[in-house]
Amino acid sequence: MKQPTSEATVLVWDGGLRIFHWSLAASVTGAWATQELGPAYMDWHMAFGCAALALVVWRLAWGFVGPRTARFSDFVRPPREMTAYVNSLRSGPKQRFSGHNPLGAFSVVAMLALVLIQALTGLGNSDDIFFDGPWHHVLPDSVSDRLSYIHSVNFWILVTLIALHVGAIFAHWLFLRENLVVPMLSGKKPRRETAEGTGIAGQKPGLALALALASAALVGLLVGLAPEPPPMDFDMF
Ligand code: HEM
Ligand code: HEM
């Protein structure tokens, strides 16, 4: 007999985490696209970059106070568990997870760290002609040059990881017959695809919103507290 929908699916991702995910994907894509469009779009580049920074700050806090599947303690595992999981894909019974699997967990942490580095280095970066990050002029040239270098190299590491991320999700669908995208949209997974039908009980929307406001305020302060750049010295012309 067909089970009622409420029993056939289990809530595994809370609403805050889903909004976070798709907003992060949009901000990172927006930051990349706007710097490709040229100097006229650098204000937008900074806006998308700062949005990505606020989202990661939110996610770091959510990893401690959010529902079970969002918590770092639920999915960050020692490397040997990651290796065991990869080996288990070739043989043995298929393991099910309500949240991130050990390999996915590694890429989650790495992507969050890379976006954080990308956005923080951007704050001290400059194109040396049209646009400076808000903290650029208070840093010695040697430091801002280093940040600029990290900003350009780290971006390609991030792009590689995002490509692997999307590739792994496609491989899950192709080889393991598991659609991970629908749960990241709806929050729900078929019960048979979770670990013993376990999901999350509450989504804590009030706390998620309060943290979102606090994260945005923190990034606003980080940008707003940067001292005004000194006036341009036109005597040199
Ligand atoms: C710039 C692009 C992207 C970035 C930076 C990104 C980043 C992330 C991060 C950080 C997570 C972990 C979520 C969390 O626990 O906080 C995640 C999970 C996930 N992402 Fe993305 N993502 C991107 C694009 C995409 C795209 C295009 C898709 C759809 C094909 C996608 C599908 C998913 C899915 C299904 C999960 C959950 C994986 C699981 O079940 O363990 N992501 N992504
Ligand atoms: C996730 C967020 C971000 C991404 C993905 C990103 C990506 C990029 C990329 C790909 C470049 C071109 C690098 C090169 O090839 O030289 C760039 C340049 C730049 N970014 Fe970002 N960025 C982000 C955040 C920020 C933030 C928050 C700022 C702060 C204002 C910023 C400031 C700059 C500046 C000033 C440049 C010009 C550097 C140059 O032309 O040499 N970025 N960014």
What is the per-residue pLDDT across 75-102, written as a single tens digit (0 to 9) for each?
999 989 889 888 888 876 678 888 999 9
The alpha helices in 11-96, defined as continuous H runs, are 15-37, 42-65, 72-75, 79-90
Ligand index nearest the alpha carbon of residue 68: 1
Q: How many Å lie between the centroid of ligand 2 and the Cα of residue 36? A: 10
- pLDDT computed for residue 197 by the predictor: 66
Q: Please, which residues bridge with residue 190 across strands? A: 9
- pLDDT computed for residue 1 by the predictor: 37
**Which residue's C-alpha comes closest to atom 5 of ligand 1?**
25
- Tell me how crowded residue 116 is: count the other CB atoms within 10 A of its CB: 17
What is the per-residue pLDDT across 98-122, written as a single tens digit (0 to 9) for each?
899 999 999 999 999 999 999 999 9
Instruction: Enter the DSSP assignment of 137.
Output: G
Task: Evaluate: CB of 31 within 6 angstroms of ligand 2.
Answer: yes
Domain 10-224 CATH (choose: 1.20.950.20, 3.30.70.20, 3.20.20.140, 1.10.357.10) = 1.20.950.20
Q: Which atom of ligand 2 has the smallest separation from the CA of 52?
A: 1
pTM equals 0.93
Least confident of 3-7, 106-110, 121-125, 192-196: 3-7
